[in-house]
């Protein structure tokens, strides 16, 4: 009898061990398969740029492409960039949930029509600094009414500070997803700050998210007197309530123009709080979480 009990016990052990081994094998093969395949990205971002004029804008574009590629890996989205503005067409844009303009805007009628269709269809956009510029007469005249007057709401460029300097910025709407975990005021990276033709405070479609705090004045070093601001209200980050979009005025690095070396004297990224603003904005735009308004 003891021998029979011993024989049955060993058989029971073998059955259990076989089942455990089978489970472990399934778990192991699942882990191996998962390691061989990257996790699907949350969303896809495409950045358009020109990077052909003004060394400060060129510097920013190269810096932004590096930083955004690294940020995409950390936060689970994909990042592509192109200087071919002919890619701004309906078929190409269907691959992406977020479009970025790093330094300029589309100049062809076809590209402009495709972008407007994309945005009206629920696409998302982030624009930096020179992407909002328009001045008549100039190489970038105000010849796109929907974009400058309705989408951005700012109209033409009016003026700027000089040289690129840091500013204290004030968060105007801490409830917006792009402002998540930002302090009430923070020190921005050096930048050439823009003023605009239209007062965005009077536009019911525009929600101003960040503006220059009065403690920044005087802002700019000149040498021309109008390049130094002593007072006034200057929005630097805003959204249009009718679209999923975010305009950010930052994006002009300081360059050694006077010395003639074109050496980079400042950078836009690497500022923890300002970086957080951009990341918050991208995640809001890409994931479609939080109210557009």
DSSP secondary structure of 174-218: TTSGGGTT--SEEEPPPB--EEESS-GGG-TTEEEEEEE-GGG-S
Contact 268, 155 (CB under 8 A): no
Domain segments of the chain: what residues? 1-35, 44-287
pLDDT for the residue 17: 41
DSSP states of 223-235: SSGGGSB-S---E
pLDDT for the residue 250: 98
Contact 143, 133 (CB under 8 A): no
Sheet with 78-82, strands from edge to edge, namely: 78-82, 44-48, 98-101, 124-128, 244-248, 235-240, 206-212, 168-171, 185-187
Residue 124 DSSP SS3: strand
Q: Which two tokens stand for residue 174?
A: 């801490």
The CA-based angle 44-243-45, given to 5 degrees, is 10
Return d(Cα 187, Cα 46) in angstroms, integer.
28
pLDDT for the residue 45: 98
Strand partners, 229: 219
pLDDT for the residue 65: 98
Return d(Cα 164, Cα 220) in angstroms, integer.
7
How far the first Cα of the chain sits from its last, in Å, is: 80
- The rounded average pLDDT for each run of 10 residues, N- to C-terminus, in the chain (293 residues) is 39 45 44 41 92 93 98 97 98 98 98 98 98 97 98 98 97 97 98 98 98 98 97 98 98 93 95 98 86 42
Q: What is the pTM of this model?
A: 0.85
Q: Which CATH number fits domain 44-287: 3.60.20.10, 3.40.30.10, 1.10.3720.10, 3.40.50.880?
A: 3.40.50.880
CA-based radius of gyration for the chain: 26
pLDDT for the residue 31: 42
């Amino acid at each position: 009898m003891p021998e029979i009990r011993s024989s049955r016990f060993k058989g029971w052990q073998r059955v259990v061990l076989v089942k455990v081994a089978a489970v472990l094998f399934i778990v192991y093969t699942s882990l191996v398969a998962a390691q061989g395949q990257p996790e699907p990205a949350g969303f896809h971002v495409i950045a358009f740029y020109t990077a052909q004029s003004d060394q400060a804008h060129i510097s920013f574009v190269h810096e932004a492409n590096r930083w955004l590629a690294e940020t995409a890996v950390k936060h689970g989205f994909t990042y592509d960039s192109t200087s071919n503005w002919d890619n701004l067409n309906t078929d190409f844009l269907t691959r992406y949930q977020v479009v970025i303009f790093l330094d300029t805007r589309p100049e062809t009628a076809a590209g402009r029509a495709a972008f407007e269709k994309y945005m009206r269809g629920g696409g998302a956009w982030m624009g930096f600094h020179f992407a909002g510029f328009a001045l008549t007469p100039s190489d970038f005249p105000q010849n796109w009414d929907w974009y400058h007057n309705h989408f951005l709401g700012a109209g033409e460029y009016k003026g700027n500070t000089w040289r690129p300097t840091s500013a204290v910025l004030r968060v105007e709407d801490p409830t917006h997803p792009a402002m998540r975990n930002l302090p009430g005021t923070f020190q921005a990276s050096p930048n050439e700050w823009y003023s605009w033709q239209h007062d965005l405070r009077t536009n019911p479609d525009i929600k101003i998210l960040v503006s220059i705090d009065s403690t920044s004045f005087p802002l700019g070093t000149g040498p021309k007197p109008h390049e130094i601001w002593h007072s006034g209200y200057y929005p630097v980050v805003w959204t249009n309530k009718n679209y999923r979009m975010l305009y950010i005025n930052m994006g002009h690095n300081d360059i050694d123009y006077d010395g003639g070396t074109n050496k980079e004297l400042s950078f836009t990224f690497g500022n923890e709080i300002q970086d957080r603003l951009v990341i918050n904005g991208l995640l809001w735009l890409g994931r479609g979480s939080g109210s557009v308004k």
